[in-house]
Amino acid sequence: MSILFSPAQIGTLQLHNRLVMTPMHLGYSPKGEVNDQLIEFYRARALGGVGLIIVGGCGIDRIGNAFGMTQLDDDRFIPGLRRLVEAVHAEGAKIVPQLYQAGRYAHSAMTGQPSVAPSPIPSRLTGQTPVELTEEKIIEIIASFVSAAKRAQKAGFDGVEILASAGYLISQFLSPLTNQRTDRYGGDLQARMTFGLEVVEAVRGAVGSNYPIIVRVAGNDFMPGSHTNTESRAFCQALEKAGVNAINVTGGWHETPVPQLTMNVPPGAYAYLASGIKQAVSIPVIACNRINTPELAEEILEEGKADFIGMARPLLADPELPNKAMSGHSEKIRPCIGCNQGCLDYVFRMKPTSCLVNAEAGREAELGPISHSEKTQQILVIGAGAAGMEFARVATIRGHQVTIWEGSEQSGGQLALAAAPPGRRDFLNLGTYLTNACLELGVITQYNVKATPENILSAVQRGDFNRVVIATGARPITPSIPIEEGVEVLQAWDVLAGHSIPGENVMIVGGGAVGVETALYLAESGTLDNETLRFLMLQHAETEKELYRLLTQGNKKITVLEMAKGIGRDIGPSTRWSMLADLKRHRVNCMDETKLLEVRADGVLVESAGTQKVLPADSVILAVGSCSQNELYQALQGKMEYLSIIGDAAQPRKALDAIHEAYTEAIKF
Ligand code: SF4
């Protein structure tokens, strides 16, 4: 890890390594204040070895902010901000706030006033039309940036970052899509840069020539008709001339149809955006977006694509990532799997940020480090799925002796199924992490053990264990509908586990997350693989149109039936839109408000809007939900003192809830 963990500089700011925690919305400051939750969250990341933390966004005013955001718009926040800075400094990291103004991305329901923007162009994100800024109001907003920067300086921050990316106010001025002004702030690219440059120049004038200023830009807006890397380079060159000390390069707008943070984005896919900017400027450039391992970070630095690496979610998942990598133990890092379930999805729902893989994230102040239990217990866990292994991991750290009985020959439970659809592979990394963590801590995992009430009771009576935890997961539901004899009906779980599907016409019953994932898994069969695609593209062997057809049309005709209105309703908002777009791309036929009545040899009988019809189907796959596998728990209840049930075995739920529950259960005794 020679480059990533070598010292470096941003302007006058000395950093002990090149790993930057990029800003992420946390929602921990309900009234804009710094509190213990925020301080302990960042203290843990500083302690974990990151070089620079960018806090944010931090509201510079009230008209352009978001829920739960740390504020920089009033002097009364300075003492709290100072406490945050001191906590991070005490652990050896540096810290800067991101100065945030959302423009037309601000919700009037949240701010209590209409949002503002260069031009009154409706926002797809909020569904609202902003008020066009007057020149007077523009000057007021620039003054708010300046006041916020001065407060940051007064609070002891090591510099500031100005947000000019993702479709927020400054990028709204930059883009011809949202800036249709005819005054000096609108017109050609040079004119559209005016607002951003005036903000930078005013902040520079206020904080002095030596105070580090970073600007976060979109390396490409990924919006049809808006800026590409070419225009972004021109802006960055102007920023450099205006005295900016580093450029933080992210991807496109929140409204873009191009996924940037979902699991299907290949790690490091957007490093080329930073590389493009780096070629145009001589100040340091930070690369980010889906750079989720220190190895990948090192590779990007080695290839000269960037000078610093920005990570946010990987440090939410494991604050100790830098220290583990520096000590040569990357394999111990708890991986961010790009699921967005606890971070972006929570933020979209206006809930404080959490993390699927890390139950401690955001709860550092409340939980503190995992404590040693007063009395060592011998614990038997039934099931080596995510919940069972997380429980075992935490209980072992607490000093207990834990054995897992796993019925199959491998650990991970449903994680393997979750990882099967295209672009969902990272779920496997969580299984690998938990398996390795348990192994290293000394958890004894016994495979191919069929747990029964009898053998569990005998083990307890022998004194092998004094506590039993049931983590047997769930099983898929089979609806009670008539099925004609001889017709094979499969469960989606079997398909995702690799069971082959006969015939061309595939009917998937159930349009929730599992149905959608199964449809995408099958839709890819028979399409081009990466190697062939690359070859055909580079050799110009096919037209773009034909390549697209070969990439999106496989050898199955797939229909998803859903009784309720809407497909994929249980998929998080950060991911659902891109999965629905993939279904469309693969021409999966989605029929909601359609009920399956019967499975016949010639197809399925369905009812929609009061009309019945038979749809052709060679295969019928059920994805109608799951139920708890809790028979062992029921059989053992009342027969031992310490018996509990966790995860899907208690009630089918999302992986985040299962893991968090396992953690909470393990710290109880
Ligand atoms: Fe990563 Fe998922 Fe955790 Fe977000 S919730 S930080 S995407 S693992």
Summarised one tens digit per residue, pLDDT across range 419-444 is 999 889 999 999 999 999 999 999 99
For residue 1, pLDDT over 60 is answered with no
Q: Quick check: CB of 342 below 6 Å from ligand 1?
A: yes
**ipTM, 2 dp:** 1.00
Q: What is the pLDDT of residue 253?
A: 93
Whether 340 is in the pocket of ligand 1, judged by its Cβ within 6 Å, is: yes
Residue nearest atom 8 in ligand 1 by C-alpha distance: 336
Cβ neighbours, 10 Å, residue 148: 27
Is the separation of the CB atoms in 562 and 590 below 8 Å? Answer: yes
Asked whether 341 lines ligand 1 (CB < 6 A), one says: yes
Q: Say yes or no: 307 and 404 in one domain.
A: no
Q: Per the domain annotation, does 3 fall within a domain?
A: no
pLDDT higher than 90, residue 625: yes
Q: How far is CA 666 from CA 358, 387, 662, in A?
A: 14, 11, 6
Mean pLDDT over each residue of the chain, to the nearest integer: 95
Query: What is the rounded average pLDDT of the residues 226-252?
Result: 96
Q: Ligand 1 pocket test: which of 261, 263, 290, 313 has the largest number of ligand atoms within 8 Å of its C-beta? A: 313
Domain boundary (348, 367, 386) is at: 367
Tell me the CA end-to-end span of the chain in Å, nearest whole number: 40
Provide the domain limits for residue 53. Answer: 8-367
Q: Are residues 111 and 28 in the same domain?
A: yes
Tell me the pLDDT tens digit for each residue of 110-147. 888 889 999 999 988 888 899 999 999 999 999 999 99
* Ligand 1 in reach of 336 Cβ (< 6 A): yes
Output the CA 22–ligand 1 centroid distance in Å: 14
Ligand 1, residue 335: give the atom nearest the CA.
Answer: 8
Which of 24, 288, 333, 336 has the most ligand 1 atoms within 8 A of CB, as the residue to mutate?
Answer: 336
Is 372 part of any domain? Answer: no
**Single-letter amino acid code for the residue at 199:** V
pLDDT at residue 488 above 90? no
Q: What's the burial of 456, exposed, middle or buried (CB within 10 Å: 0-12/13-18/19+)?
A: buried
Tell me how far the alpha carbon of residue 262 lies from the centroid of ligand 1, in angstroms: 10
- Choosing from 367, 387, 402, the residue where a domain stops is 367
Give the pLDDT band of residue 97 (cuts 50, 70, 90): very high
Domain annotation covers residue 309: yes
In a domain, 2, yes or no: no
Q: Verify that 391 and 514 share a domain, yes or no.
A: no
Instruction: Answer whether 338 contacts ligand 1 (Cβ < 6 A).
Output: yes
Ligand 1 centre from 601 Cα, in Å? 44
In this prediction, residue 356 carries a pLDDT of 97
Tell me, what's the pLDDT at 124? 86
User: Within this chain, do residues 185 and 217 fall inside the same structural domain, yes or no?
Assistant: yes
Q: Whose CA is nearest to atom 1 of ligand 1?
A: 336
For the cut 70, the answer to whether the pLDDT of residue 192 exceeds it is: yes
Q: Find the CATH number of the domain harbouring 421.
A: 3.40.50.720
Average pLDDT in the 79-95 region? 98
pLDDT band at 178 (very low <50, low <70, confident <90, very high): very high
* Structural domains of the chain, count: 3
**Residue with CA nearest ligand 1 atom 3:** 355
* One domain for residues 315 and 453: no
Count CA within 13 A, CB hemisphere, residue 574.
19
C-alpha 316 – ligand 1 centre gap (Å): 7
- Answer yes or no: do 392 and 460 share one domain: yes
Band (pLDDT 50/70/90 cuts) for residue 109 is confident
Question: Looking at residue 485, what is its pLDDT?
Answer: 84
DSSP 8-state code for residue 483 = B
pLDDT at 56: 87
CB 159 within 8 A of CB 200: no
Residues 591, 603 within the same domain: yes
What is the distance in A from the centroid of ligand 1 to the CA of 549?
Answer: 33
What pLDDT does residue 239 have?
98
Residue 351 and residue 230 share a domain: yes
Mean pLDDT over 610-621 rounds to: 94
Judgement on whether residues 596 and 467 belong to the same structural domain of the protein:
no
Question: Is 355 near ligand 1, meaning CB less than 6 Å away?
Answer: yes
Query: In the predicted model, what is the mean pLDDT of residues 608-620?
Result: 94
Q: What percent of the chain has pLDDT over 90?
A: 90
Does 337 contact ligand 1 (Cβ within 6 A)? yes
Question: Under the phi-then-psi rule, with left for phi > 0, alpha for psi from -120 to 50, and beta for the rest, what region is 288?
Answer: beta
Q: Please give the Cα distance from 648 to 159 (Å, whole number).
A: 46
Residue of 41, 265, 339 to test ligand 1 pocket, by largest number of atoms within 8 Å of CB: 339
- In a domain, residue 466? The reply is yes
- The predicted-structure confidence for 272-294, as pLDDT tens digits, reads as follows 999 999 999 999 999 999 999 99
Q: Are 81 and 153 in contact (CB under 8 A)?
A: no
Domain identity same for 29 and 177: yes
pLDDT more than 70, % of the chain: 100
CA of 39 to the centre of ligand 1 (A): 20
Residue 103's pLDDT band, with cuts at 50, 70 and 90, is very high
313 CB under 6 A from ligand 1?
Answer: yes
- Residue 561 in any domain: the answer is yes
Pocket test for ligand 1, best of 347, 357, 432 (most atoms within 8 A of CB): 357
348 C-alpha vs ligand 1 centroid, how far in Å? Answer: 14
CATH number at residue 518: 3.50.50.60
Q: Ligand 1, closest atom to CA 354? A: 5
Centre of ligand 1 to C-alpha 317, Å, is 6
1 domain residue, yes or no? no
- Same domain as 583, residue 462: no
Q: Is 352 touching ligand 1 by the criterion CB < 6 Å?
A: no
Both 492 and 434 in one domain: the answer is: no
| pLDDT tens by residue, 226-235 | 999 999 999 9
Short-list 77, 63, 96, CA closest to 29: 77
The residue among 314, 337, 367 that closes a domain is 367
Region of residue 538 (phi > 0: left; psi between -120 and 50: alpha; otherwise: beta):
alpha
In a domain, 450, yes or no: yes
**Strands of 203-359, DSSP E:** 213-218, 246-250, 285-287, 308-311
Q: Indicate if ligand 1 lies below 6 Å from the C-beta of 343.
A: yes
pLDDT tens across 496-548, in order? 999 988 889 999 999 999 999 999 999 998 899 999 999 999 999 999 999 99
Establish whether residue 291 lines the binding site of ligand 1, counting it when its CB lies within 6 angstroms of any ligand atom.
no
pLDDT tens-digit map of 626-668: 999 999 999 999 999 999 999 999 999 899 999 999 999 999 9
